C-alpha cells in the first residue's frame, strides 16, 4: 500500500488537555486554518490528562511573576464556564489547608497574599469555623486557610467533550497514530500511516515532549525526570464524611504537595499521591514500562539533588521514604483529619506519572511551565500541575505570545512588571 501524504497548517503532537484546548482556541481564532492532532494511544486520556485528579486549582501556591500564577485563576474560570456550557459536572467543593506545625502556621499569610495576588479567593479562618466546613478537620490547629473556589471535574469527560468539539469544527483528531519521524527543515512529520506536511508544529507530547524538541535542536539544557504518584482511598463510610479537598501546607520550593484528601466528582476520596522517581516514562506498574535509558540519567541527577539538598530535595525524599510505611502515612493523614483510622484506608489502582522537567544548567527542578519556540515550531516542555486547570488560559497565552504573527516581541501586559520575550524560556 502506498504511503499517503496529507497536509495541515498546524500539526499538534500529543492529545492531552493542553493539545486539545490549543486546537480548540486556535480554530476559533483561525476558522479557515487546517489543524491535525496526533495522539499515539488509541484512546484519549491514557496518560497525564486522563489520570489527573480533576481538581481545578485556585492558584495560591504559585509565586508572583510565574506563568502558573498568571494563568491558574483565569484557566479555572474558563474551564468552569466550558463545563457549564457543555453540561459537564463541576463540583465546587472548596479546599482547606491545614498547618500542623508552628512554621506551617506562619505560612498562611504568605499563601493568602499569593492567592489574592493571583486573583483567587482565600480566607484565614479559625479551627471552629473550619469545622463548619469540614467537620472532621483537626480541631487542635489554631487556624486554616480556606479556598472556596477550588472545584473538581472528571477530566475524561472534558477530554471527550473537547474531542467531539474539535471534530465538529473540522479538526482532524487522530488517535492511535504516533509521530515516528520529523524533518524540521522540510516540515514533514511521518507516522506509521502517512506523511504530514505542516506549516507549524506544536509539541504537546507531555512525557515525550523533550524527545520531540530534540529533533529541532531545542531543549538540550533540560531532561525529563518522571515521578510516579500512588494513592490510597478512603472507605465509603469515611469518604461520605469528607466534604471537599483537605491539603497540607506545601513546601513552596518543591513541585510536590505531599499527601492530601481529594474528593472526586463521583464522591470518592483519594489520599496522596506520593512522588517517587519512576523507572520509566510510562512505568505505571512494577517493572512494566521500565527503561534503562531513563533510569540511569535520572538516578545520577537525583543523587546530585539529594547530595546538594537543592530545593529541599533531601527532606522530600525522606518524607517519601517514610510514606512506604502505612503507619507513617496514617500519621500524616491524622495530622489533618484525626478520625481517619487504618481500617478506613484501602489500596487504590489510581496511579499517575508526572513529567517533571529538570534544568541541567541550574541543576534544579523546574517549578514553572517552560515554552520554547523555533521558526516553525512551539514546544511545551513542562506542562505539569496545574496545567489541566490552566489549559484554557494557557492556550490563549501560547497563541498570543508564540503563534499570533503580530505578537513578536510583545510583552504580557497582565503579568505586572514582568516582560516575557517570545524567544526565551518562560520561568
For the segment 341-374, what is each residue's pLDDT rounded down to a tens digit?
Answer: 999 999 999 999 999 999 999 999 999 999 999 9
Confidence of residue 254 (pLDDT cuts 50, 70, 90): low
**pLDDT at residue 405, rounded to an integer:** 64
* Separation of alpha carbons 280 and 211, rounded Å: 14
**pLDDT at residue 41, rounded to an integer:** 98
pLDDT above 90 (res 251): no
* Separation of alpha carbons 349 and 11, rounded Å: 34
255 vs 304, higher pLDDT:
304
Q: CB of 149 within 8 A of CB of 74?
A: no
Q: What are phi and psi of 412, to 5 degrees?
A: -85, 105
Q: CB of 385 within 8 A of CB of 75?
A: no
Q: CB of 272 within 8 A of CB of 230?
A: yes
CA 2 to chain centre: 40
**Residue partners of 367: CB distance under 8 A and separation at least 6:** 63, 66, 68, 255
**Residue partners of 402: CB distance under 8 A and separation at least 6:** 371, 373, 378, 422
Residue with cell 506519572: 353
* Separation of alpha carbons 105 and 249, rounded Å: 8
> Parallel, antiparallel, or unpaired: how do β-strands 4-13 and 35-39 relate?
parallel
* Separation of alpha carbons 140 and 382, rounded Å: 39
Alpha-carbon radius of gyration of the chain: 21
Report percent pLDDT > 70 for the chain.
93
**pLDDT at residue 153, rounded to an integer:** 98
DSSP run (H or E) holding 22: helix 17-29
Average pLDDT, the chain: 91
416 vs 302, higher pLDDT:
302
Helix residue spans in 64-221 (DSSP H): 67-86, 102-105, 108-117, 127-133, 155-168, 209-214
36 vs 274, higher pLDDT:
36
- The cell for 365 is 527542578
206 exposure class (CB count in 10 Å sphere: 0-12, 13-18, 19+)? buried
Confidence of residue 321 (pLDDT cuts 50, 70, 90): confident
pLDDT in tens, 65-98: 999 999 999 999 999 999 999 999 999 999 999 9
Q: CB of 42 within 8 A of CB of 343?
A: no
pLDDT above 90 (res 397): yes
Confidence of residue 16 (pLDDT cuts 50, 70, 90): very high
* Separation of alpha carbons 245 and 92, rounded Å: 10
Mean of pLDDT values over 195-223: 96
Q: What are phi and psi of 125, to 5 degrees?
A: -125, 160
Domains defined along the chain, listed by start = 4-49+155-221+367-415 (3.50.50.60), 222-259+266-359 (no CATH)
**pLDDT at residue 155, rounded to an integer:** 97
Amino acid at each position: 500500500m502506498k504511503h499517503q501524504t496529507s497536509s495541515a497548517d498546524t500539526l499538534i503532537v500529543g492529545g492531552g488537555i493542553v493539545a486539545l484546548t490549543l486546537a480548540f482556541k486556535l480554530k476559533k481564532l483561525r476558522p479557515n486554518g487546517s489543524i491535525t492532532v496526533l495522539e499515539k494511544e488509541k484512546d484519549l486520556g491514557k496518560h497525564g490528562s486522563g489520570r489527573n485528579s480533576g481538581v481545578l486549582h485556585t492558584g495560591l501556591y504559585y509565586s508572583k511573576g510565574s506563568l502558573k500564577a498568571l494563568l491558574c485563576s483565569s484557566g479555572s474560570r474558563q474551564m468552569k464556564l466550558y463545563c457549564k456550557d457543555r453540561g459537564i459536572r463541576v463540583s465546587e467543593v472548596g479546599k482547606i489547608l491545614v498547618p500542623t506545625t508552628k512554621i506551617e502556621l506562619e505560612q498562611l499569610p504568605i499563601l493568602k497574599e499569593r492567592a489574592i495576588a493571583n486573583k483567587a479567593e482565600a480566607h484565614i479562618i479559625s479551627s471552629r469555623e473550619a469545622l463548619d466546613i469540614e467537620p472532621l478537620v483537626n480541631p487542635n490547629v489554631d487556624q486554616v486557610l480556606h479556598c472556596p473556589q477550588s472545584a473538581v471535574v472528571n477530566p475524561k469527560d472534558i477530554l471527550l467533550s473537547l474531542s467531539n468539539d474539535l471534530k465538529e469544527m473540522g479538526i482532524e483528531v487522530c488517535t492511535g497514530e504516533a509521530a515516528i519521524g520529523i524533518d524540521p527543515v522540510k516540515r514533514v512529520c511521518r507516522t506509521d500511516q502517512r506523511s504530514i506536511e505542516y506549516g507549524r508544529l506544536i509539541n504537546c507530547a507531555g512525557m515525550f515532549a523533550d524527545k520531540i524538541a530534540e529533533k529541532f535542536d531545542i531543549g538540550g539544557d533540560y531532561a525529563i525526570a518522571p515521578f510516579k504518584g500512588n494513592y490510597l482511598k478512603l472507605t465509603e463510610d469515611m469518604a461520605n464524611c469528607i466534604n471537599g479537598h483537605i491539603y497540607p501546607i506545601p513546601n513552596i520550593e518543591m513541585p510536590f504537595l505531599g499527601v492530601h484528601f481529594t474528593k472526586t466528582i463521583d464522591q470518592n476520596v483519594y489520599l496522596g499521591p506520593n512522588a517517587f522517581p519512576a523507572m520509566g516514562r510510562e512505568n505505571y506498574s512494577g517493572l512494566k514500562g521500565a527503561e534503562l535509558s531513563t533510569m540511569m540519567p535520572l538516578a545520577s541527577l537525583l543523587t546530585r539533588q539529594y547530595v546538594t539538598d537543592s530545593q529541599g530535595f533531601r527532606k522530600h525524599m525522606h518524607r517519601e521514604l517514610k510514606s512506604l510505611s502505612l503507619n507513617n502515612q496514617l500519621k500524616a493523614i491524622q495530622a489533618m483529619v484525626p478520625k481517619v483510622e487504618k481500617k478506613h484506608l484501602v489500596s487504590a489502582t489510581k496511579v499517575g506519572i508526572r513529567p517533571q522537567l529538570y534544568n541541567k544548567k541550574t541543576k534544579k527542578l523546574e517549578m514553572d511551565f517552560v515554552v520554547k519556540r523555533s521558526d516553525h515550531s512551539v514546544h511545551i516542555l513542562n506542562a505539569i500541575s496545574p496545567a489541566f486547570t490552566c489549559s484554557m488560559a494557557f492556550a490563549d497565552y501560547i497563541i498570543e505570545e508564540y503563534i499570533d504573527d503580530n505578537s513578536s516581541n510583545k510583552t504580557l501586559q497582565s503579568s505586572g512588571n514582568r516582560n516575557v520575550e517570545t524567544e526565551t524560556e518562560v520561568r
